[in-house]
Amino acid sequence: MKAIRADLLDFVDTPVWADPSSAGVRWRPDHWLLIGDDGRIAGVQPGHQPPGPGWTCEDHRGRLLLPGFIDTHVHSAQLEVIASYGTELLDWLHRYTFPSERAFADPELAAAGAARFLDALLAHGTTSAVVFPTVHKVSADALFTAAHARGMRIIAGKVLMDRHAPDGLRDDVAQAERDCIDLIQRWHGKGRSRYAVTVRFAPTSTPAQLAMAGALLRADPSLHMQTHVAENRAEVRWVRELFPEARSYLDVYARVGLLHRRGVLAHGIWLEEDDLPVLRDSGAHIAFCPGSNLFLGSGLLDWPALTDAGVGLSVASDVGGGTSLSMQRTLAAGYQVQALAGRRLTAWSALHAATLGAAQALQLEDEVGRLEPGLVADLCLWDWAAGSVDARRQQVAQNLHEKVFAWMMLSDERHLASAWVAGRRLYDRAFSRATT
Ligand SMILES: [Zn+2]
């Protein structure tokens, strides 16, 4: 039984857009958070009430304790192409991404890549993620195996792509269906692993493969779904040519039953207005990937247009399109994307979308996303500052939103002191390596 003393910040409700004084944030400075032997949060109490005997206490007064971040869209096989120069989406896939993903057909490389990826997530303060491995069954298997060993909440699935991809990166409908069923049987619901039916995006699957993916979801509604939608204008034009019968890009997925209540659709920048009620009614949500959208020049997502229409929204790094696994850097990019469109993203809306908001969108709010007794102790301990500039900025901040907003804009993985997954410390900066 462990107890951690720090400043606790989490959310109990959805913050109001553009309102820094919004309710919804829960701020408990100088509190103890208690972790039971079952890896769950056992209680929270004020700093002046120390836990009794039997608790191993760590005093981190003056540090910030948050729920572990949830990255709802990230590619485990793209760490090696992060920050690749000079292209938009479709060229980027062919020039950088596809060659890198091909290596994950090799079981040893896939295992090493999965371990490197998950340890990097933890070292950036992300304890749960929705992940694209590659088309190769072995890459999904390696990712689930590595996540299971760490006790991490990972949602993933073998990528489906049976056309418009180079040799070594295509499956076919029958083999892909067998691979999915086998992976679902082995991993869906094992420990904290869950399976997501994973269509890369409409152009790389034939209509027959899309139909197969929809049938998998109908057969087991407890599955998740992940894909990309309406990221880039050239991509949207291509989808219109490939699927002339569909009303819109989103409709390609709707027609085959891929809009699933546990569905995550990355980007959604260039959706049609008629798509929003369809998305809302399906329960699927959009993963906003601002770092990637800026880097690849894809466009500026209209956040409040989605949420005003009742569509769920989370925030995601989309590495390797994004240039950092850090959720603070991602949220800072999110602020900049909204600012370019004349809108203002508060620290509350941003951090909520990376914790409780994401958990709700994934229907995991009874497990992760808050510092609440009974939830799994997936936690990150952060420094408020890592250098003289952000230290001074913290000293002069006048109120909580100013303080947290400055932290969000100026911090990154250098500010992470420790990360716990289900109560086990898996990252500690003092060692800069995985510990238990
Ligand atoms: Zn992506």
d(CA 250, CA 284): 11
CB of 116 closer than 8 Å to CB of 187 = no
Q: How far is the CA of 319 from the centre of ligand 1 (A)?
A: 7
Pairing of strands 159-160, 193-199: parallel
Q: How far is the CA of 322 from the centre of ligand 1 (A)?
A: 9
CA atoms within 13 A on the CB side of 114: 29
CA atoms within 13 A on the CB side of 325: 26
Could you read off the pLDDT tens digit of each residue along the chain, which spans 436 residues? 999 999 999 999 999 999 999 889 999 999 999 999 999 999 999 999 999 899 999 999 999 999 999 999 999 999 999 999 988 888 989 899 999 999 999 999 999 999 999 999 999 999 999 999 999 999 999 999 999 999 999 999 999 999 999 999 999 999 999 999 999 999 999 999 999 999 999 999 999 999 999 999 999 999 999 999 999 999 999 999 999 999 999 999 999 999 989 999 999 999 999 999 999 999 999 999 999 999 999 999 999 999 999 999 999 999 999 999 999 999 999 999 999 999 999 999 999 999 999 999 999 999 999 999 999 999 999 999 999 999 999 999 999 999 999 999 999 999 999 999 999 999 999 876 444 4
Q: Which residues surround ligand 1, an ion (CB under 5 A)?
A: 266, 318
Does the reported pTM lie above 0.85?
A: yes
Question: Residue 35 is inside which H or E element, if any?
Answer: strand 25-35
Q: How far is the CA of 323 from the centre of ligand 1 (A)?
A: 12
d(CA 365, CA 230): 27
Instruction: Give the residues across from 288 on adjacent strands.
Output: 315
Q: How far is the CA of 393 from the centre of ligand 1 (A)?
A: 34
CB of 314 closer than 8 Å to CB of 264 = yes
In this structure, the chain runs to a length of: 436
Q: How far is the CA of 353 from the centre of ligand 1 (A)?
A: 18
Instruction: Give the residues across from 196 on adjacent strands.
Output: 224
User: Which residue type, as a one-letter code, is found at position 327?
Assistant: M
